[in-house]
Amino acid sequence: MSASSIKLLSFSGPSKILHLTWFAFFLTFLVWFNSAPLMISIRETFGLSDAEVKALLTLNVALTIPARIVVGMLVDKYGPKLIFSLLLASSSIVCFFFAFAQSYEALALSRFLLGFVGAGFVIGIRMISEWYPAKTVGVAEGIYGGWGNFGSAGAAMLVPLMAAWFGGDDGWRWSIAATGAMALIYSFIYYFSVSNTPAGSTYFKPKKSGAMEVTSKGDFVLYVAMNIPMFVALGVLSWKLGPQNLGLLSGTAVNIAYASLLAIFSYQLWHMWQINKSVFITPIPEIHRYKFKQVAILNIAYFATFGSEIAVISMLPLFFFDTFSSAGLSQSQAGMLAAGYAGMNLVARPIGGLLSDKFGRKTTMMTLLGGLIVGYLVLSQIDGSWWIPLVVVSTMFCAFFVHSGCGAVFAIVPLIKRRMTGQIAGMTGAYGNVGAVTFLTVLSFVSPQVFFMVIAGTGALVFILLAIFMDEPEGHMAEVMPDGTVQMIEVS
């Protein structure tokens, strides 16, 4: 099957699953980002300070890091059909809670809980990998990711229009509630319209749940090490909410958060040991092994690609306005210029997957990372003397390599170990959010120009690590059938 065999105009077989699933992902992002376009109305309704607004924006992403890990485990165990439907339905309830909140505390709690919906991306990665063969899984995952990611742009365009249509001081409430209603209705549509695998195929599940399985002593050590940055990122978020920054949490509350994170990490470490202690006693047969370093490389690649994407989307409108306001650029025009960076997702993610399918996973990933490095170095040179059309071209150039790099990462994820695709996708996706937290924290201390150079430097480091340590995925993987027999699955 070639990449051209993905029939985007069809609504049957794999194409039906692709369309139904990317739209489910689109709705999760619509719900996740439905407050940002209405923040002015929300601020006026509650009389919020700038610090309180920033706290809401920070809370919106705080839960996504652990959520992607948890959802990855759930989807591998119970299947994407059930978990995606439950995620949509449960997020709609929290969305209603936010829409009709009567206090800032209720707003903050519901916004924190809505961060869980950001894990929806992980679910579809497993679903698409079950329905498309390796030769086309890259472009299929790219379409899923690119079109679903457009939900954030859809929120920016659709939610204010609905608020204006509802009208009145509570228009924003009904508009946000409407996105929750869409998610609730679609949760039933999705559940009764899809299946986890094509007819006759086996849905492979992990032999153990609660932590990712590894297959060697060295991989266990690396697995533990790769969990640390995620907890550090959550600690940074707690610090940002503390009295020295946004002031939403007291010093005591921040210390409790730190202690809780340490306790959770300790518990997770114990669980990881319980799942994998056998590798220290009895070597895993070669046929069942996979290399966790492949997962680690994808994690840091997504840290650089998606992490920088989210961070840059957050700061680009203000950067353009501050840089070119003296040249007559308005705030709305700056927003429109910055929108091109996010909009490139629609085409660039699928292209990244397509290139990976056609020209090899490692070669494509290195090429796109090289473009990312050049793109951010160019952006670091932008100042008020630049010709604005050239700024637009430079931004779109950078955006292409960033978004297509994201597509290339998830063209590889399904090819490592089929029964753990959800967990691998969850960890890799979480690292994207870790990257966003890291880069935005860097931005709070340096100029935008230095910020872009830091991202470029990170990309260069990832490029070197990828060149040294990443292996091209093998042509097959071994999976254990429900009856205990071993089946070799072709992945090339």
186-196 confidence digits (pLDDT tens) = 999 999 999 99
Backbone angles phi, psi at 477, to 5 degrees: -140, 150
Tens of pLDDT, residue by residue over 125-170, are: 999 999 998 788 888 998 998 888 888 878 878 888 899 899 888 9
Class of 289-492 in CATH: mainly alpha
- Give yes or no for a contact between 381 and 408, defined as CB atoms under 8 angstroms apart: no
Greater confidence (482 vs 56) lies with: 56
Instruction: Give strand pairing partners of 487.
Output: 479
Average pLDDT, the chain: 88
Q: What is the pLDDT of residue 2?
A: 42
Would the pLDDT of 307 be above 80?
A: yes
Is residue 126 within 8 A of residue 76, CB to CB? The reply is yes
Amino acid code (one letter) for 392: V
Q: Mind listing the pLDDT tens digit for each residue in 108-129?
A: 899 989 989 999 989 999 999 9
Contact between 59 and 249 under an 8 Å Cβ cutoff? The reply is: no
User: What does DSSP say about strands 486-490 and 476-480: parallel, antiparallel, or unpaired?
Assistant: antiparallel
Judged against a pLDDT cut of 90, whether residue 432 lies above it is answered with yes
Amino acid 430 reads A
Percent of the chain with pLDDT over 90: 52
Average pLDDT for 327-336: 75
Residues 6+ apart with CB under 8 A from 176: 34, 35, 38, 95, 98, 99, 159
Q: What is the average per-residue pLDDT within 275-296?
A: 88
Give the global pTM.
Answer: 0.84
Dist CA 95 CA 116 (whole Å): 11
Query: Which percentage of the chain shows pLDDT scores above 70?
Result: 95
**For residues 55-75, average pLDDT:** 86
Residue 480 CA: distances (Å) to CA of 39, 163, 275, 424, 433: 50, 52, 17, 18, 33
CA-nearest of 342, 375, 338 to 452 is 375
| pLDDT band (50, 70, 90) for residue 210 | confident
The neighbouring-strand residues paired with 486 are 480
Task: Check whether 482 has a pLDDT greater than 60.
Answer: no
Backbone conformation region of residue 7, classed left if phi is above 0, alpha if psi is from -120 to 50, else beta: beta
Residue 484 has pLDDT above 60, yes or no: no
Check whether 491 has a pLDDT greater than 70: no
Helix (H) or strand (E) holding 333: helix 331-343
Each domain of the chain, given as residue ranges in start order, spans 1-203, 217-288, 289-492
Structure tokens at 480: 């254990």
What pLDDT is stored for residue 490 in this prediction?
A: 55
By C-alpha distance, which of 33, 120, 111, 28 is closest to 71? 120
Task: Pick the more confident residue, 169 or 172.
Answer: 172
As given in the structure block, the two tokens for residue 220 are 């266990």
- What's the gap between Cα 293 and its chain centre? 20
CB of 173 closer than 8 Å to CB of 149: no
Is residue 88 within 8 A of residue 155, CB to CB? The reply is no
CATH superfamily for domain 1-203: MFS general substrate transporter like domains (1.20.1250.20)
The model's confidence at residue 328, banded by pLDDT at 50, 70 and 90, is confident
Long-range Cβ contacts of 311-319 (<8 Å, 24+ apart): 311/435, 311/436, 311/439, 311/440, 311/443, 311/451, 311/455, 312/341, 312/402, 312/439, 312/455, 313/152, 313/338, 313/341, 313/342, 314/436, 314/440, 315/440, 315/443, 315/448, 315/451, 316/341, 316/395, 319/448
The answer to whether the CB of 231 falls within 8 A of the CB of 433 is no
Pick from 131, 125, 119: nearest CA to 194: 131
Q: What is the pLDDT of residues 403-423, one digit of tens each?
A: 999 999 999 998 888 788 889
DSSP-derived letter for residue 467 is H
* 319, containing H or E segment: helix 292-324
Q: Averaged over 295-322, what is the pLDDT? A: 90
For the chain, counts of helices (H) and of strands (E): 19, 2
Determine the pLDDT at residue 483: 46
pLDDT tens string 434-463: 998 899 888 888 899 999 999 999 999 999
Confidence (pLDDT) at 477: 52
Q: Which residues contact 348 (CB under 8 A, 6 or more apart)?
A: 146, 399, 400, 401, 402, 403, 404, 407
Burial of 160 (0-12, 13-18, 19+ CB in 10 A): middle
DSSP assignment string, 70-84: HHHHHHHHH-HHHHH
> Residue 223: is its pLDDT beyond 90?
yes
Specify the DSSP class assigned to residue 473.
P
pLDDT digits (tens, 9 = 90+) for 6-40: 677 778 889 999 999 999 999 999 999 888 788 88
Which of 42-46, 330-334, 359-363, 456-460: highest mean pLDDT? 456-460
Total residue length of the chain: 492
The two domains 1-203 and 289-492 share their CATH topology (first three levels equal): yes
At residue 486, the pLDDT reads 47
Q: What is the pLDDT of residues 76-105, one digit of tens each?
A: 999 999 999 999 999 999 999 999 999 998
